[in-house]
Chain A
Amino acid sequence: MVRFRVIPCLLLDGTQLVKSIRFNKHRYIGDPVNTIRIYNESEADELILLDINRSREMTEPNYDLIEKLVSECFMPLCYGGGVRSLDVAKKLFSIGVEKVAVNHLSFSAPGEIEKIVKLSGGQSVVLSVDITKNIFGKYRIYSHVDRKTKSFEILDFLKRYEDIGVGEILLNNVERDGKMLGYDLELLNLIRSEINVPLIALGGAGSVQDLKAVNKLSVSAAGASSIFIYQNHNRSVLISYLDEFEINEIHEDA
């Protein structure tokens, strides 16, 4: 049976890696090449690399840097940030990116996402959705480019893209980002029960137990950032992946 995946998520700001808290307070972490090398040597399941500026600045992805990073990976790499057209997606695939993540495009030009799915197959396209709570405490989809929430019903929005044929959905919880206080398991359980494509949970991981909890929900994958970047709650930077004991712990009895 397919194994639950644990996926380090890296944020790219220019040519540097950064880490956020609630999509803010971006802190310099280190050099992306060295970081990816460490994850590759640790045999990480997969990597997600998100460039936080490209969509807002309306610039092309940094193809040279991405190509260099992909060459360090013997596992799949999903790239997001400025994927605004079929041509951009084609270029990314041609340099070795396994999957593209689309976020802003899902608001600005859904038809373009359909074209990418038709060209490369759904398994190469990840719908990246940022979720946050509005002032009434209700979860809403958030646009980091427009810096505001959308009024769509989350499940309707996700099902629409399931019908279009995206291969995976990356659910990024802005509220929980960088807090290391756990995922929102209730939300994940709800979405998992309604959606038939693999789901990647992101936002909140603080411990191996948090990752295990996501596995127990039969969610396909847990993305995490802080726990692989910070050594402890003082947030001293140390890039690492899971060790053998932690991997066994996450996968047993699930």
Chain B
Amino acid sequence: MDKVGVINYGLGNLGSIVNMYRYLGVEVELINSADEIMYYRKVILPGVGHFAAGMQQIKSRGVDGVLKEFVKESSNKLLGICLGMQLLFDSSEEGQVDGLGLLRGHCLKFTPCNKLPVPHMGWNCVYPNTSDQLFKMPFKQPRFYFAHSYYVSNVAKDATCVRANYGLDFPASVIRENIMGVQFHPEKSHKFGLALLKNFVSF
């Protein structure tokens, strides 16, 4: 099993991700500077908060350039979590900045409709395909903890999406080769999250 690097760029719940990997017995380290990223084959980009603030932190630390190099090597794998997943895309309605552009798509805000409050908050089911290795787990109906007001839309066809629903269908996860994102928080999703994070290092 590879060791996992979790990028520390000032935003995101690093402690909980580290906690889960420690519980799984997987070696996990914080990546505190961009030049350390290339030492790992499995890297996680966490994130909580504003799209523009996230990109600003990433750019100021030079993380954007290194990540683009990192994913060029197909045996390297990148997993974006929550805001970390949104930042992988082209852009967002939240903030007037570009994202990393590693996946094609744009983030939109949920509008409260049919009496559904925003943010999307709580446990919700996802519907993976049997081929989605990241979601292979011995549970009948995987569900995860979501906490977000923006969702990814217009995802390019070269990526596969795992569906969830909150008033509308939206991608709970997007995967294109070695670049993956999950909108929910596996580090806060009990046995489902443990299984997913374990799958990520087992590829």
Chain A contacts to B: CB under 8 angstroms? 1-5, 43, 45-46, 67, 70-71, 73-76, 93-96, 98-99, 118-124, 167-168, 195-199, 218, 220-221
Contact = CB atoms under 8 A, between A and B. Distances in A.
B49 A124 contact: yes
B15 A121 contact: no
B193 A74 contact: yes
Contact of A122 (B20, B119, B123): B119
Given A45-B122, A196-B118, A74 B190 contact: yes
B122 A220 contact: yes
Given A1-B124, A76-B185, A197 B19 contact: no
Interface stretch (B35-43, B58-66, B127-135, B141-149): B141-149
5 contacts: A3-B123, A94-B14, A95-B15, A98-B13, A123-B48
B194 interface: yes
Interface residues of B, number: 39
Contacts of B187: 74
B182 to A, nearest CB: 15
A197 B118 CA distance: 5
A218 B112 CA distance: 14
4 closest A-B pairs by CB: A96-B15, A123-B147, A196-B112, A121-B49
Contact of B166 (A1, A73, A119): A1
Contact of B149 (A94, A98, A122): A122
Task: Pick from A5, A76, A118, A221 the residue with the most CB of B within 10 Å.
Answer: A76
Contacts of B185: 76, 98
Contacts of B146: 2
Given A2-B146, A74-B194, A195-B117, A121 B123 contact: no
Interface of B: 11, 13-16, 19-20, 23, 48-50, 53, 83, 112, 115, 117-124, 143, 145-149, 165-166, 185, 187-191, 193-194
A120 B50 CA distance: 7
Q: Is the contact region of chain A dominated by helix, strand, or loop, or is it mixed?
A: loop
Contact of B15 (A67, A197, A220): A67
A8 B188 CA distance: 16
A123 B121 contact: yes
A99 B13 CA distance: 10
Contact of A75 (B48, B53, B120, B188): B188
Contact of B48 (A4, A118, A121, A198): A121
Contacts of B123: 2-3, 5, 45
B19 A71 contact: yes
